[in-house]
Structure 1
Amino acid sequence: MLRTALRNVLAHKARLMMTALAVLLGVAFVAGTLIFSDTVGSAVKKASEKNLDGVAVSVQAEAGDSSPDIGKDRKRTTLVDDKLADKIRALPGVQSVRRNVNGTATVAGPDNVPLGHEWQNLATNFQPDKDGHDPRYPLLQGRGPAADDEVALDEATAKASGRKIGDAVRLATDGPVLTKRLVGIVSTDDPQVTAGGSLTLFDTATAQKLFLHPGQFDELVIGAAPGTDQEALTDKVREVLPKDRATATSGTDLAAEQSRMVSSQNKALSQTLLTFAGIALFVGVFIIANTFTMLISQRSREIALMRAIGASRRQVVRSVLAEAALLGLISSAVGFALGMGLAVGLRAVLEANGAGFPDGPVVISPAAVLSALGVGVVVTVLAAWLPSRKAAKIAPVEALNTVEAPPALRSLVLRNSLGAVITGLGIATMCYVSTLKKADDLPIAMVGGMLTLTGVIILAPLLSRPLVSLAGVVTTRLFGISGKLATENTLRNPRRTAATASALMIGLTLITGMTVVGNSAGQAMDKMTAQGLKADYKIGASSGLDPELSQKVADVPGVEAAAPLRNTGFSTPDSSMGLMGTDLRTIGKVLQLDFISGSLKGAGGHDIAVSQEMAKKKGWHTGDTLDATFFDKKKAKLKIVGIYADNQLVGDSIGAASLSAPHQFMPTVDTLLVKAQDGPSEGLEKQIRHALGDSPLLKVQDHAELRKENAANIEMVLNVSYGLLGMAVIIAVVGVVNTLAMSVFERTREIGMLRAIGLARSGIKQMVRLESVVIALFGAGLGIAVGVFCSWAVGTLVSEGLPTYELLLPWGRLALFVLIAAAVGVLAALWPARRAARLNMLQAIGAE
């Protein structure tokens, strides 16, 4: 039976080609993801280990009090200072203490475009030895910075900016643009920089001036003398640290912590990619099952003869499964090879879209090889299991009949009944989901969606008759006899039609659902901005803004009001909530604040107003006092002086900037809202940008630009999803080609007879094309319907975080999906239609 299986694979290799391609593509996706994950994980781990080489203990400063002038000074204050560093240096076993000031700085490239990735753009202090070299950052050219107007850059950033030694460099931290002179170019192994960020080095005094205060540091990196125990040294260092203001971590623990962090980040990306790979493989199951079902039907006589000469049912099952295993193994091996190229391509695509990864060789682990090959073989064998059981049930005498028996009525009744029950459960679950309003209930929605989709897949043969017949009315009227024949051929085997269409339906269900939710969310964000934002401009930077900029913008002629927003949070005994600190005199001019009770007029430093939703949820009223604990563990009593109508842009509560600022981790302004006296204008925007120092970091956006940014963000997410689901759609298209090609082989005699009675070659081609289009549109119609239904049901879950959300169907894009499905049908039929039209009429009539 094993030899028979091998001969069958070789004998039917042409018919198995499309099935092999479906398995190959799915395995390539899985293999590419695993190889990419291993490669990136290995590169980041090696970069981290190299970066921590020689680190025995790391002392990290905890967030401290900001400077006394909290409204203006953006600097952080720490208790990790020169005094502490000298005390640690005097400890037994300490060989060196490196004193680091850490911040972020972004260099402006050509056309003032910021270089690198903002949160990976490091800034720190160059610490020269007596020879002027810093072993942490080896010099490639020039020297280290020694004055406040000098900087050094890493090699990649210097090259990207087009700057050479002696050139002026424009850069920004959180305020106006700074102009420094490039005096050195260094190399670095820091994983953030090698992953696409930038490195800017200042002298120590300048770095402290920008980010801290004189004599203060963010981190002390301690090197141990030879033979010193790391853990013992760490304990000694902890004894001299200020309580609750600094922490000491051994180099071993620090490396383990970074490894865990990298592993966690890598795992999240890999799981996302593997989820989409799983969808692609699931789609492939339909193609595999369809192929083996058709092959078994075509080989019924062969199976009957095997049974007649003594083969048992179990042997027939094993033979079919052996064929599937051989097909899966060969396809998986080729797919794994393709996956190696896919991993390299995936990295290139992600880097082109802003992601960064350290350099490193492609890593192919034994686990990746075994997992990819195992998945391919197992999926293929499982998909062939039901067809193999069908083959085993063929009686020798029945199989000698050349007429294919229709499916048993009992089988169809059971299938339709099961499909109806599962679909009903799915619809009921999704209707229940539509009454929920917590994002935590998303798993219930996922279960409901899966049940609905599974039920519709099972019912697809039943649904195919009315829907395909309806399409047949159109095809017959437009294309005559070719259209009628295409409809009849599609209806001839509803199970085959349903299986082929279901593969396409799965991808379109997911694509439609995400498109509808994305479109509705985009419209909701635009509506939220229009209703809640009275300001004409929103100014922000991911690293925060210098508090001094607020007054500079307010002084620009034509500006009516400028309100800084400084966000933090606090907890009460039974809840946690956000707090937006701002200028209470101007906030009403830039944000819509409709008070239901009380107001912020005359509010003091510990007075707050809360949203109507929060007050209702907690039973709070104007005049109540809250025992608050801020995120920095400091406590205060806050008095509620007003309750305002919910505004997503304001959040849970609002108070004075002097209340929130001392409790921010970074004492910067998060956002600056600006109201113009006569509305936005290009001239005013230029003046505002000039007042901000023309920094490449800062974004100045009016309402139109905010809408454009929202749309771009949603479009980016959708495009990534479309790309990841593209493999599933490609496999579905392969399934259509496969079904049509094998159907043409089955109907060779029939096609010959059609040619004999006068149907031209063009008519044969048109018949096959229309059959393909009908199948594609059937799958697309079901997919779009299920996708819209599921997106409607989850709308209430989205509305919890986006109250203005309402279902809005993107009719244009849905119509585009239908047109694409029709085009896919036409393209999928090109080869089968050409093959059918080129059949020799007389040979076809004589075919068995």
Structure 2
Amino acid sequence: MVIRRLRRLSLAWSTVKGRRGGFAGSFIAIVAGSAVITACGVLLESGLGTGVTPERYAGAAVVLAAEQSFRLDESSEVRYSERVTLAADRVAAVAAVPGVRSAVGDVSVEVGVLGPDGAAVGGPGGAAGGGPGGAAVGGPRGAAVGGPGGYPVLGHGWSAAALAPLRIREGRAPAGPGEVVLDAGLAARGRVAPGATVRLVTGSIPASYLVVGIATAPGDGLRRQSAVFFTDGQAAALTGRPDRVDAIGVLAEPGADPRELAGRIAAAVPGVVAHTGAGRGDAEFLDVGDARSLVVETAASFGGTMVLIVVFVVASTLALSVQQRRRELALLRAIGATPRQIRGMIGAEMTLVSVAGAVAGAIPGVLLAFAMRGVFVLAGAMPPDFRLRVGPLPVLAALVLCLVSGRSAGWLVARRVARVSPVEALGDAAVEPRRLGRVRLVIGVLLLPLGLLLALGDVAAPGDSAADTAGSAVLLFVVALGCLGPVLLQGAVALFGGLLNRRSTAGGFLAQASARAGARRLSAAATPLAMGVTLAAVQVFAASTTIAGARQQLEDGLRADQVLTAAAGGGVSPAVADAVRGVPGVAVVTPVARTQVLLTFPSEDSTATKAFAAQGVAPERLAETMDLGVTRGDLAQLRGEAVALSRTAARTVGARLGGAVELRLGDGTAIRPRVVAIYEHGLGFGDVILPNDLVVAHTTARADAAVLIRFAAGADPQALRAAVERYPTVRVGGPEAFLAAPGAGGSGDWALSLLFQTVLLGYIAIAVVNTLVMATTARVREFAALRLIGAGPGQVRAMMDGEARIVVFTALLFGLLATAAPLAGVSRGLTGSPVPSISLAGLTAIVAVTVALAWGATRMATRHALRSSARGA
């Protein structure tokens, strides 16, 4: 058996060497597929096993935090948008576990570090002027001293300094509520020395503190944050939750193993998640855990999709290669080769090509992973210091998947060749098969009405969004295009061939004749190009529909005259809204807090959970500052545990007016609010509206993102500006400021989706160029024959230009037609209108890229083939 397989591989190697051009297309497709799969593997492995080195928790053996994710099943989860906290009494329970030397509860509150009016920081005793012992901080009023590289400044209790450990370099530890210690980096940026007075803003409330010490962190110091240390009591008071802690750091007894200690603590203290090693960074930096979860989920999903695409593309290029070898295979069948031998030969050839292509694509795949990481960082989906782990597993996985994909493609192509009888084989070699396989034709035809039903029918049962269901229908149309490609191209030639190519010219006549005789050959290029057009158009036009719908809803619904936002310090404190309510001329004040919530709802035989953007608003006279387009119910009832849902969200979760929904707030707190209103403007204002005080109480910053102001007739706006003078980080702006106000996480989701779609479309583009070059360069004999009967090089080029027109027209026609129903369904689900918003720039780019790919590849390959045919002639 082994000897037989080695002989088969040896024969396959001889075939591959003798027909390098015929296998080049499959090889290139596998190289590109291997690169993408390797890149996904590197991202997946990095998401599972790496992260960011802890800084303030570097000295802790174990860091305990609450569960920051909601588990959907064993393999997937949804991250909470706000930090989930632990009860402060857990600190004593952890300290009692054997092996724990001490346990320290840590709290974090975002702080703005400002200079006093005039930017002078007082010297000893707080006197202004920056005399001996004094230092200057900031610049003009409200200028903030930030963390390194734009990272935040966070306040903590002094006892948490032992977890780094940070040591006092100058001065002493804080002893009273008006005293603070700054980390050395922050002190250097603000030019602060012990004895100086600084203004710190928490929420929006400024207060002066005496700097009594400067602390240094071990190693390179703090690179992802700056730290301000208060007394433990003052830090707890500033958080507004003195009975909660963000995390618990554990200092272990000498010789204790961190992993064993973590296991003992988890067993003794239920409800905590123990982190050791690099995992401590997840507990310290929420953005690291968010990035890890997002990258793992998307890389795994996209990697699986790429395997299917690789199978399709490799099968397409291999089918073209086999078609070019029809004479050879027909001769083998005629002289007695069995179907099994034909399948074995093609399988062995694909084994060699797949292994070589997978290995060749490994290094470009690693480089692609780093390029993708760079895009994630630029888009804010991944922190800049998130490291990639490059190991052998992604390369081995790409090798196995490419080998399986190549062999699967070879098996699909070899089935038809091996079935044909020896007599039919010789006839098959002369003329391209005219009919599609019955199974392929039936599948393609059946997918069309099913796609229409999903896109346009009312089949989005509770648990599914109409827009999501319609968007998923595009996959059915893409597969249908793949199945019916030759038939569609023949139909396009029959209906529009005369318009694309005039039969009165030699080039036009030859192009039409060639297209009719070689429909399968042309469809091998037109079909993946049409699939790329469909995927690109749905991605671009769904985004433009969403953006246009959100903008329109905001323009129609935002009725505020002025908007208050925060420049630093963790948002706009609720105290600001209370203060401006009494300003003369201010008629309505609507504080708005933003977060992300999870809704759990029945789905078939189980339940499903989905994340939604949410806002917390005050219901008093809400319609005067924000029109949500309420269709049912009354927003005045938005008090206590009540909720309003957009039409899309209500349909998704199967909610009804007056009924209760299962909802988890941003920090994981579960409630069952009653639905008091259904509204239309979910794209612009979020799909879930909750009472403002409920949302603020369960956000990390415990602050509003913005405050909407509506003036009474004849009011003086300057009175409002004067009222917020005492809040240095609060800014007064127009309605456009509401759009820039910070929201909940998930900001990088769109970037991930766009990047993966770009990579996918890039792979399809490679496949299209590959196929066109293969199909054109293989026609050397045909070009030579045309030259012999009198056709000039210009007429041959005109024929190929005519074929390129057919390919481009067919790809654009059927690619864009395939998007019509899904985009109508997406638009109807999101905006209520079946007419999507088409981006002219996006449409122009799609057409331009399609033309460039088809014409560029055809022209290049034709020029090469004509040189060869001229020599042959």
Q: 1:304·1:395 contact (CA, 8 Å) conserved in 2?
A: no
Partner residue of 1:204?
231
Quote the sequence identity (%): 20
Q: Does 1:549 align with 2:576?
A: yes
**Could you say what secondary structure the match of 2:21 adopts?**
coil
Q: TM-score scaled by structure 2?
A: 0.73
Alpha-carbon deviations, 1:41-65, whole Å to 9, x = none?
33328759974743487799xxxxx
TM-score with structure 1 length normalisation? 0.75
2-side partners of 1:402 and 1:611: how far apart? 62
Tell me if 1:353 matches 2:379. yes
Letter in 2 for 1:463: L
Residue in structure 2 matched with residue 10 of structure 1 by the alignment: 17
Equivalent residue, structure 2, for 1:392 = 418
Determine helix, strand or coil for the equivalent of 1:545. Answer: coil
SS of 1:838's equivalent in the other structure is helix
- Distance apart, 1:341 and its partner CA: 1.5
* Contact 1:553-1:692 at 8 Å conserved across structures: no
Q: Aligned equivalents of 2:325 and 2:614: distance in 1?
A: 72
Find the aligned partners of 2:250 and 2:841 in 1 and give their Cα distance.
62
Q: Give the whole-Å Cα distance in 2 for the aligned partners of 1:437 and 1:219.
A: 38
Name the SS for the 1:809 alignment partner.
coil
Distance 1:361 1:252 in 2: 18
SS for the counterpart of 1:104 is strand
The Cα offsets for residues 595-627 of structure 1, whole Å up to 9 and x where unpaired, read as 9999899x9987989789899975759xxxx99
Matches within 5 A, 1:575-614: 587-592=622-627
Q: Provide the residue aligned with 1:731 in structure 2.
A: 763
8 Å contact kept, 1:24–1:335: yes
Q: Report deviation, 1:331.
A: 0.4
Q: Could you tell me which of 797, 812, 819 is aligned with 2:848? A: 819
Match of 2:813?
Answer: 781
Distance 2:329 2:670 in 1: 81
Aligned to 1:669: 704
Residue 381 (structure 1) aligns with:
407
| Aligned twin of 1:101 | 107
Secondary structure of 2:837 counterpart: coil
CA shift digits 1:75-95 (9 cap, x unpaired): x999849xx979997998763
Secondary structure of 1:562's counterpart equals: strand
- Cα displacement (A) at 1:498: 2.2
Find the counterpart in structure 2 of residue 343 from structure 1.
369
Cα deviation 1:383-439 (Å, max 9, x = unaligned): 122332333345556656796223165x55664344223323332343334675763
Instruction: Out of 551-560 and 811-820, give the one that drifted further.
Output: 551-560
Match of 2:836 among 804, 807, 816: 807
Greater mean deviation of Cα atoms: 170-179 or 520-529: 170-179
Matched, 1:293 2:319: yes
In structure 2, the CA distance between the partners of 1:515 and 1:34, relative to structure 1 (3 Å rule), is same
Match of 1:152 among 182, 191, 194: 182
The 5 Å alignment of 1:684-723 reads 692-694=727-729, 702-704=734-736, 720-723=752-755
Q: Over residues 578-603 of structure 1, what are the superposed CA-to-partner deviations in whole Å (9 max), with x where a residue is unaligned?
A: 998766655453234899999899x9
Contact 1:301 1:400 in 2 (8 A): yes
Task: Give the aligned partner of residue 318 of structure 1.
Answer: 344
Deviation of the 1:339 alpha carbon = 1.2
Mapped to 2, the partners of 1:134 and 1:588 lie a distance apart of 51
SS at match of 2:431: coil
Relative to structure 1, the CA distance from residue 59 to residue 650 in structure 2 (aligned partners, 3 Å threshold; closer, same or farther) is closer
Secondary structure of residue in 1 paired with 2:251: strand
Q: Which residue of 1 aligns with 2:489?
A: 464
> Are 2:867 and 1:838 equivalent residues in the alignment?
yes
User: In structure 2, what residue type is equivalent to 1:835?
Assistant: H
1:373 is displaced (CA, Å) by 0.3
Whether the aligned pair in 1 keeps the contact of 2:54 and 2:278 (CA below 8 Å) is: no
- Give the superposition deviation at 1:445: 4.8
Aligned residues: 796
> Partners in 2 of 1:256 and 1:440 — Cα distance?
37
Code of the aligned partner of 2:393 = A
**Of 28, 36, 50, the match for 1:43:** 50
Q: Which of 491, 511, 521 is equivalent to 1:496?
A: 521
How far did 1:32 drift? 1.0
2:35 to 9, 28, 33: 28
Change (3 A) 1:600 1:818: closer
Task: Please say if residues 126 and 202 of structure 1, whose CA atoms lie closer than 8 Å, have aligned partners that are also in contact.
Answer: yes
- 1:25-424 aligned within 5 A: 25-44=32-51, 47=54, 51=58, 53-55=60-62, 80=88, 95-105=101-111, 122-127=154-159, 134=162, 136-138=164-166, 146=174, 148=178, 152-153=182-183, 173-175=202-204, 184=214, 186-187=216-217, 197-204=224-231, 207-208=235-236, 210-212=238-240, 221-226=249-254, 230=261, 266=292, 268-307=294-333, 310-357=336-383, 362-393=388-419, 396=422, 404-407=430-433, 409=435, 411=436, 415-424=440-449
Identify which range, 725-734 or 373-382, moves more after superposition. 725-734
Classify 1:51/1:312 alpha carbon distance in 2 versus 1 (closer, same or farther; 3 Å): same
In structure 1, the residue matched to 2:531 is: 506
**CA deviation vs aligned residue, 1:243-292 (integer Å, no higher than 9, x gap):** xxx97776779969969998896354234234334444544444433433
Structure 1 residue 333 displacement after superposition: 0.4
In 2, the alpha carbon distance for the partners of 1:270 and 1:572 equals 23
SS of structure 1 residue aligned to 2:560 = coil
Which AA in structure 1 matches 2:36? Answer: F
Q: Distance in 1 between matches of 2:313 and 2:322?
A: 14
Instruction: Please state how far the C-alpha of 1:739 moved relative to its aligned partner.
Output: 3.1
Three-state SS of the structure 2 residue aligned to 1:561 is: strand
How many Å apart are 1:320 and its aligned residue?
1.0
Provide Cα deviations, 1:314-356, integer angstroms capped at 9, x if missing partner: 1121111111111111000011121111222222222232244
CA contact 2:204–2:573 (8 Å) conserved in 1: yes
Uncovered stretches (5+) of structure 1, i.e. residues with no partner: 61-75, 239-245
